[in-house]
Amino acid sequence: MTRPIRVEIDLSAIKHNYIQSRKQTQNRRALAVIKANAYGHGSTEVATALADVADGFALLNLEDAIALRDAGIEQPLTLLEGPFDEAETRLMAVQKIAGAIHGEHQLEWLRRLDASHPFEAWLKVNSGMNRLGFAPERAVGIAHALAALPGVRLSTLMTHFATADDERGVDEQWACFEPLIAQCGLKVSAANSAAIFRHPRTHGDTVRPGITLYGCSPFEGTTGTDLGLKPAMTLSADVIAVQSLRPGDKVGYGCLFQANEPMRIGIVACGYADGYPRIAIDGTPVAVDGRASRTVGRISMDMLAVDLSHIPQAGIGSRVELWGPAVPLEHVAACAGTLNYELMCAVALRVPRLYRH
């Protein structure tokens, strides 16, 4: 018998969220970011669901991009970290897959391409995040060098914001990047999910919605619902045992939870090996058969405990929503001291995925 745990992916919600994100920009071109297996939602499934509305897709790995091509996805594809070696550079050119160019080593590979299959280059500028990209003072010279290469079609100037989601905003980075737009004369891609919703001056020609596609907010203290988004992922599992506790009884590894009154607890078929965060605090919200409840004690590898004391009808077979429409992922992430991004990406492959259109 299959273990009673599942992840349900609502593809219609993802489509709604793409459209909502794009509306924030007066319908500018939007690349749907589906790296990391579409943040755990399934890159092929998400791209297929968005194929009739998306302007293109942003990914990380060439093999994932080729898998999309094999699945019939015809929209433009862009690799956000560009090619990782010279062979990939040639294959991307042949497959018409664009890529970020952020370092001298990639320039060397591009110089050896011929004009038969031009490589579409997105010039990455390091405007202050200090991960990838050329220094702003070099951007114009690099742009001219790329434009002169016969095997390159330079299309876009791009950067990435480090603090678009908090009170610091984008002012400092935008001041570095904005003067380059007119000097380079290229299309612009700078806005991530947070900038899409809070910094319209950065929208440029192409925005890159990521976390908002999946119904989550990039901003601390808010949920995706607050932004008009719909949660796309629901993690749930069933109660597989019930225990009755007396005052003083303890629960789980380390005996961290002790009952101070009679309680009923349900043992749920989900643990940190499934991707539920072990460090989630006692009392992290859940919903049992649609009613609000909480976790009890420490999360185990394959199980966790929830409070059933106030839900007398709940028992073996009751469905426990661990995150989803009734339990915002942002709230679970806050209880685990992490981000909604990480929890979505961390759901284990052993958890069955069920897709709804």
**Mean pLDDT computed over 148-166:** 97
Mean pLDDT of the chain: 97
CATH number of 233-356: 2.40.37.10
Domain-wise residue ranges, the chain: 11-216, 233-356
What is the reported pLDDT for 229?
A: 98
Give the model confidence (pLDDT) of 334-345 as tens digits: 999 999 999 999
253 as an active site residue: the answer is yes
C-alpha Rg value of the chain to the nearest Å: 23
Query: Above 70 in pLDDT, residue 1?
Result: no
* First-residue to last-residue Cα distance in the chain: 26
Best CA proximity match to 29, nearest among 155, 126, 154:
155
Burial of residue 353 (CB within 10 Å: 0-12, 13-18, 19+) is middle
Catalytic, 23? Answer no
- 138 with 105: CB under 8 angstroms? no
Catalytic residue among 15, 18, 214, 253: 253
Mean pLDDT to the nearest integer, 210-216: 98
Give dist(CA 64, CA 67) in Å, integer: 5
Distance CA 158, CA 297 (A): 46
Instruction: Tell me how far apart the alpha carbons of residues 1 and 41 are, in angstroms, rounded to a whole number.
Output: 25
Structure confidence by residue, pLDDT tens digits, 39-90: 999 999 999 999 999 999 999 999 999 999 999 999 999 999 999 999 999 9
What does the pLDDT read at residue 178?
97
| Residue 27 confidence (pLDDT) above 90 | no
Q: Which CATH number is 11-216 given? A: 3.20.20.10
Mean pLDDT of 221-225: 96
Among 49, 21, 342, smallest CA distance to 210 is for 21
Burial of 161 (0-12, 13-18, 19+ CB in 10 A): buried
Q: Which of 15, 18, 23, 35 is catalytic?
A: 35
Predicted TM-score (pTM) of the model is 0.95
Q: How many CB atoms lie within 10 A of CB 108?
A: 11
Q: Can you give the pLDDT at residue 18?
A: 98
How far apart CA 20 and CA 225 sit, in angstroms, is: 12
